[in-house]
Structure 1
Amino acid sequence: MRYYRTRRDGADRLVASDGRTAYDLTAARDGLGSFRDLARVAAVNGESVDDVTARVTDDAPVLDADAVVERAAMPAVPDEVWAAGVTYEVSSDAREEESGRSELYQTVFENERPELFFKATASRTVGPGEAVGVRADSDWDVPEPELAVVLSRGDIVGYTVGNDVSSRDIEGDSPLYLPQAKVYDRCCAIGPAIASPDTVGDPLDLDLSMTIERDGETEFDGETSTSKMVRTPEELVSYLNRHNTVPELAVLLTGTSLVPDEFTLREGDHVAIDLENVGTLENPVVSV
């Protein structure tokens, strides 16, 4: 199943869709107002989110699946968003290029311990159709399309699409500037849905693509596969959970391998990221 957050009758609704039929889970059970609620019930019962949903769909009103996708908001409101870096070789090469410090990123790429950093709060994160931001004090800003892991109480309960917007020139000046390059208003987007582990299948065998349009013209069009990741989601999650109290609902971005060369985002651009078995996340761009 894929799980969406939509607005109906003036209130948020949790909707489950198998691609053909969409079910209003909130209308079926008062206690299922959000994906957080669904994950909480699953954890208490020792079940998957799909197991809980299977018991509810017979009582759920059926909705138009295409309309649900069109009206989708951020599928869950995470307490924290974290991110991993240098999980693809091409990402390591790009970071070396921007910083001129080849040994620094190569060491992270080869070491057992991954790079993990805090990315965003809920207030800095947007959903599908909302604008992502580029910093007005940066001259080199890029979207970073990523497989995103959704965690409930530290356990993987689903996957979504993530856009880790980054100011590469700020980070390139010094690795100590990473928080400023990564954390600011509208720096992150997730959505359009949360796909359950059974729906995603092997998270390291998914096609990932991104297009960027400007003034009606395609400025960038690229594709890759998560099979090129050198670390598994489980490995990254295990390090995130070490000596760190992860909040009830969190998202972990797993790194990127689509890095536009000699390109910077501008206000008015449109970014579309498609992840196999999950969906397409689309966002306009504004300056912040």
Structure 2
Amino acid sequence: MRYYQRSVDGNTHLVGERDGAYSDLSTANPRLQTFDDLLYASNVAETEIDTIARRLIDEAEPIPSEDVGGESLIEPVTPQEVWAAGVTYRISEEAREAESSKPEFYLEVYDSDRPELFFKATPERVVGPNDRVGIRGDSDWNVPEPELGVVLSGREIVGYTIGNDMSSRAIEGENPLYLPQSKVYDRCCAIGPAVRSAASIDDPADLEIRMRIERDGDVLYDESTNTSRMVRSIDELVDWYLRHNAVPDVSVLLTGTSLVPDDEFTLEPADRIEIGIEGIGTLSNTVTEV
């Protein structure tokens, strides 16, 4: 199943989707207003989130599909922390080498046992579908980074979403120690539009990822790839994230950059970014300077 969150009259409603039919699960159980509420109920009942949702669907209010794709959509989960992995695809390693004054660092990470993991965002820095993602005003080279996001409840993988790890390549390229400033800032991360339950995805390591960037109606970038091209497994990245780490009740781990525009490209305000992942949906955002 897929799960969405909508804002209706200032209140959050949890929406479940099965076989193309959408239901407002909050109308069947007022205590399930958010995806976090569903995770809590799942932990208490010691059962999967899909099992709980299926019990509610018959009593839940149906929702037209056009309402789920509208402006009322917000991020499908509210992670207390977002982390990210770097240099997990060859294209990312090559891009990081090209931008950096210390290119050997990235080749070493790509081939090493320990992956690159870094803190990405707090809830206040995360935006949802149809919202604005940010580019830093002190950087002249800014790009989106489309990534498969792993949704964790405590230490358990419960689902997958789409992430946009917005990045200031100029800042990181100047010095690798500037990585936090190139990655962590206002509106630096987008997630959505849905969470696909882990139980309903056959193989997260074989999903098509695509990204499209438009400016003034012109398509500047339109490419696709597959999560099978990741050099590390998802379980491996999650294992490293959990090691010696007091993870929060709900978190998202982005699994690395799969598509990179040409070095000559940089985002501008009002650009539109669409990131699609097979079986999850399409995350759309416009760009603003922060």
What's the TM-score once normalised by structure 2's chain length?
Answer: 0.97
Q: Deviations over 1:154-200 (max 9, x none)?
A: 21111100000000010011110000000000000000010111333
Give 5+ residue unaligned stretches, structure 2.
none
Equivalence for 1:276 = 278
User: Is the CA contact 1:168–1:181 (under 8 Å) kept in the aligned structure 2?
Assistant: yes
Equivalence for 1:120 = 121
- Alignment length, in residue pairs? 288
User: Is the CA contact 1:139–1:264 (under 8 Å) kept in the aligned structure 2?
Assistant: yes
Rounded Cα–Cα distance in structure 2 between residues aligned with 1:79 and 1:43: 17
3-state SS of 2:108 partner: helix
Equivalence for 1:79 = 80
Overall identity of the aligned pairs, in %: 53
Equivalence for 2:68 = 68
| Greater Cα offset, 232-241 or 175-184 | 232-241
Rounded Cα–Cα distance in structure 2 between residues aligned with 1:69 and 1:202: 26
One-letter identity of the residue aligned with 1:14: L
| Greater Cα offset, 262-271 or 2-11 | 2-11
User: Is the CA contact 1:199–1:277 (under 8 Å) kept in the aligned structure 2?
Assistant: no
Equivalence for 1:287 = 289
What's the TM-score once normalised by structure 1's chain length?
Answer: 0.97
Equivalence for 1:203 = 204
3-state SS of 1:171 partner: helix
Q: Deviations over 1:232-253 (max 9, x none)?
A: 2211111111111111111111
Cα deviation, residue 201, structure 1: 2.1
Q: RMSD between aligned alpha carbons?
A: 1.1
Rounded Cα–Cα distance in structure 2 between residues aligned with 1:113 and 1:48: 31
User: Is the CA contact 1:19–1:65 (under 8 Å) kept in the aligned structure 2?
Assistant: no
For residues 38-187 of structure 1, what are the structure 2 equivalents within 5 Å?
A: 38-70=38-70, 71-187=72-188
Equivalence for 1:34 = 34
Cα deviation, residue 40, structure 1: 1.4
| Greater Cα offset, 141-150 or 21-30 | 21-30
One-letter identity of the residue aligned with 2:49: V
User: Is the CA contact 2:101–2:174 (under 8 Å) kept in the aligned structure 1?
Assistant: no
One-letter identity of the residue aligned with 1:250: S
Cα deviation, residue 61, structure 1: 1.3
| Greater Cα offset, 69-78 or 166-175 | 69-78
Cα deviation, residue 19, structure 1: 4.4
Cα deviation, residue 78, structure 1: 1.0
Rounded Cα–Cα distance in structure 2 between residues aligned with 1:104 and 1:51: 45
Rounded Cα–Cα distance in structure 1 between residues aligned with 2:98 and 2:2: 38
One-letter identity of the residue aligned with 1:130: D
User: Is the CA contact 1:95–1:105 (under 8 Å) kept in the aligned structure 2?
Assistant: yes
Cα deviation, residue 282, structure 1: 0.3
